[in-house]
Amino acid sequence: MSDQNPPALRKIIHIDMDAFYASVEQRDFPEYRGKPIVVGGKPDSRGVVATASYEARQFGIKSAMSCSKAYQLCPTAIFVYPRFDAYSSVSKSIREIFSRYTDIIEPLSLDEAYLDVTEDKLGIGSAIDIAKSIKDAIKNELNLTASAGVSINKFVAKVASDMNKPDGLTFIGPSKIKAFMEKLPVEKFFGVGKVTAAKMKAMQIHTGSDLKNLSESQLLSQFGKSGKFYYKIVRGIDDRPVRANRETKSVGAEDTLAEDTNEDSVMHDLLKQISETVAKRLEKYQLKGKTVTLKIKFEDFKLITRSRSFPLAIHKAENIYAEAIKLLNDANIGSLKVRLLGITLSRFYDEHPSEKLEDNQLEFDF
C-alpha cells in the first residue's frame, strides 16, 4: 500500500550570511557602519578582496578582485585585514542556532549551510516559519543578517537564498520549480563555470528552458558527466541528501609571491610554507585527503589547477609538499611568471551513491 504513496517531499533550507566578513567588521566597529568596507588586504598590497560591504559593492567592488583595483573603484573605502577568529566564532554561533531546529546540518563554509527540516526538533512543521525564526535569532542574538532559501532540494534552496539578498527569505514551492528552472540563466546552474557558460551560450543555450531541449545523451556528449547532472537538475530533480558531519569538503591555503617569478627555488619555498599551513589545518580538523590540488595564478591573473588523487589519504606536510612539487613540474609552466600558489586537500570521505527522487510536483505544507 505504501508503494502507492508518493515519496514524502523534503523541506530544505539554505542559509547564507549577508556580506559576511564585512558585516562582522561593521558590527564590531560602529565607525565602519554605513561605509564602504573592503575586507582583504591594504589597497597598495598584492592581496585580493575577500568580501566588501554592500556600500562598497555599489562601486563595483567584488570578492576576488585585487585590492588595488578596489581602491581605484573607491578610494574612500576602508580597507581592513580579515579577523578569522571573529568569523569562526560567529560561524559556531549560527550553527548552534541551526541545531535548535535540526541535526541534519551541512555547512558549506563559515557562512553558509544546508538544513533538512523535513522533521524539525521543535515540531514547527513549516519550513518557512523555521527559516524566519532562524533569521530572527541571528538578528537578535548576533546582530547580523542572513538570507534564506526554502525549497524541496538543495539546488533550488541555494539559488533561492541568493535571490533577495540581503535579509531575504525566498520560498520556491514544488509547483513553482518547473517555471523557476526554465527561467534560470545557465550561469546560475550548479557547476557551470565561466568556460561551460560560454560554451552553452555559443550553442544558444541561455536558460534552463534552452537546456531542456537537449536530450540526456546530447548533454552527456557535450558536457561529460556534468551533462547528466544538468539533465536532472533542470527538471528540478536533485536527490543529494543534506549530509551532516561533512562540513569540511576541502582544506587549503594559498599565498601571493612577493614578486612574480618562475624560479623554482622561490616557488618551492612558498609551496613548503603553504604545505605546512595546510597540514596544520588538516590536523586541527583531524582530516586526511585523497586528492591534492595545486593552484597556480600567473602574472596575467590566468589561473590553472592541477590535481592528483591517491588510494590512500595523506595529511603530512612533507607528503603534501612532495605532491605539490610534482604537480608544479607536470604543469610545465615554462617561462610564465607566477603570482600566486595554493594547495588544497580534498576527498576526505567517499561519496555514497545517491538515491533516486521522483520528479514529484505535489504541493505540501511548507
- Partners of 253 in the β-ladder: 343
Decide whether 91 or 275 has the Cβ nearer to ligand DCP. Answer: 91
- Asked if the peptide bond before residue 166 counts as cis, ω within 30 degrees of 0, the response is yes
- Interface residue with ligand DCP, options 9, 17, 181, 338 (CB under 6 A): 17
Contacts of range 288-291, beta carbons closer than 8 Å, 24 or more positions apart: 288/313, 288/314, 288/315, 288/345, 288/348, 289/250, 289/251, 289/313, 289/314, 289/315, 289/345, 289/346, 289/347, 289/348, 290/314, 290/346, 290/347, 290/348, 291/345, 291/346, 291/347
Count of residues touching ligand DCP (by CB under 6 A) = 14
- Interface residue with ligand DCP, options 27, 45, 63, 210 (CB under 6 A): 63
DSSP at 152: S
CA 3 to chain centre: 37
CB 114 within 8 A of CB 14: yes
Q: Which of 106, 112, 351, 355 is catalytic?
A: 112
96 Cβ contact list (under 8 Å, min separation 6)? none
Q: How far is it, in rounded angstroms, from Cα 223 to Cα 127?
A: 35
Decide whether 42 or 165 has the Cβ nearer to ligand DCP. Answer: 165
- Give which of 90, 92, 105 is closest to 246, Cα–Cα: 105
- Interface residue with ligand DCP, options 27, 95, 165, 243 (CB under 6 A): 165
341 touches Mg ion (CB under 5 A) = no
3-state secondary structure of 22: helix
Site for ligand DCP, residues 108 to 147, rule: CB under 6 A: 111-112
Shortest Cβ 196–ligand DCP spacing (Å): 19
Report how far apart, in Å, the C-alpha atoms of 45 and of each of 25, 42, 261, 300 are: 20, 5, 17, 17
Amino acid identity of 49?
V
CB 53 within 8 A of CB 29: no
The owner of cell 527561467 is: 183
105 touches Mg ion (CB under 5 A) = no
Q: Is 264 annotated as a binding residue?
A: no
Q: What are phi and psi of 304, to 5 degrees?
A: -130, 155
- Interface residue with Mg ion, options 12, 16, 48, 257 (CB under 5 A): 16
Burial of 329 (0-12, 13-18, 19+ CB in 10 A): exposed
3-state secondary structure of 310: strand
Decide whether 22 or 338 has the Cβ nearer to ligand DCP. Answer: 22
169 touches ligand DCP (CB under 6 A) = no
Shortest Cβ 341–Mg ion spacing (Å): 26
Instruction: Identify whether 112 is a catalytic site residue.
Output: yes
Shortest Cβ 92–ligand DCP spacing (Å): 15
Q: Is 16 annotated as a binding residue?
A: yes
- Interface residue with ligand DCP, options 15, 36, 51, 295 (CB under 6 A): 51
111 touches Mg ion (CB under 5 A) = yes
Decide whether 64 or 198 has the Cβ nearer to ligand DCP. Answer: 64
17 touches Mg ion (CB under 5 A) = yes
Mask for 290-329, x = binds Mg ion (CB under 5 A): ----------------------------------------
Decide whether 26 or 153 has the Cβ nearer to ligand DCP. Answer: 26
Report the partner that residue 55 touches, choosing among Mg ion, ligand DCP, none (CB closer than 5 to 8 A by kind). none
Select the span of 11-19, 26-34, 149-157, 254-262 touching ligand DCP (CB under 6 A).
11-19
21 touches ligand DCP (CB under 6 A) = yes
Residues of the binding site for Mg(2+): 16, 111
Which stretches of the chain bind ligand DCP, using CB under 6 A? 16-21, 50-51, 63-64, 111-112, 165-166
Which stretches of the chain bind Mg ion, using CB under 5 A? 16-17, 20, 111
Residues of the binding site: 16, 111
Active site residues: 112
